[in-house]
Amino acid sequence: MDKKSKLIKTAIKLFVKQGFENTPTSQISKDAGVASGTLFYYYKSKEDLVKEAYISIKLDMAKSLAQDFNKDEDIKIILKKTWSNLINWGFNHKIEHEFVQKFYNSAYISCIKKNEISATYEDMGLVMKKGIKEKVLKDLPFELLSNLIMGIYQTYLAYFFTLKKIEKKSLDKSFEVLWDAIKR
């Protein structure tokens, strides 16, 4: 693993464990096994490191969601596959999931411009907008619909964490709950 990747991975773990404010860059460098100057070679500030960590997680998540993605399939089928990918990604990337939650509830969220990661989710956005236009999905603002989906995702992911596994029956039921919430 290269130094930049080590810094990101270490920072994510420390930010989750200690919080953003309680994690000095010197500790990130030390735990990553690199000199302090190396961190600032790659990142101008701690804020840039936090932002890069968030973007790298969201890109990895988007890549996972896009598996088996075919925008020409039925909207319900697309969403079911994407839902399964999302739940499995979150379950298998617990630390990254926790980082994203901390990030959303921090002042760092204001560092991200919408267009910085929106392109990575463009196909999914088009499918959802198509679903609204074709009256398959509820006619809600796109951001509200996305937030509704993410709320259900958070709830079920927490449930699967307590089970310590994802049961197919429960995963299917979670999609039914999601579908009932967003369909017309």
What count of residues does the chain have? 184
Q: How far is CA 126 from the centre of its chain?
A: 18
Q: Domains of the chain: which residue ranges?
A: 1-43, 49-182
Task: Tell me how far CA of residue 14 lies from CA of 7, 20, 84, in angstroms.
Answer: 10, 8, 28
The full DSSP string for the chain is: --HHHHHHHHHHHHHHHH-STT--HHHHHHHHTS-HHHHHHH-SSHHHHHHHHHHHHHHHHHHHHTTT--TTS-HHHHHHHHHHHHHHHHHHTHHHHHHHHHHHTSGGGGG--THHHHGGGHHHHHHHHHHHHTTSB----HHHHHHHHHHHHHHHHHHHHHHTS--HHHHHHHHHHHHHHHB-
pLDDT tens, the chain, 184 aa long: 899 999 999 999 999 999 999 999 999 999 999 998 999 999 999 999 999 999 999 999 999 988 888 888 999 999 999 999 999 999 999 999 999 999 999 999 888 876 677 767 788 888 888 999 999 999 998 889 989 999 999 999 999 999 999 999 999 999 999 999 999 9
- Domain 1-43: CATH superfamily, name plus number: Homeodomain-like (1.10.10.60)
Angle CA(55)–CA(60)–CA(61) in degrees, nearest 5? Answer: 95
Domain 49-182: state its class: mainly alpha
Q: How far apart are CA 47 and CA 69, in angstroms?
A: 33
pTM above 0.85, yes or no: yes
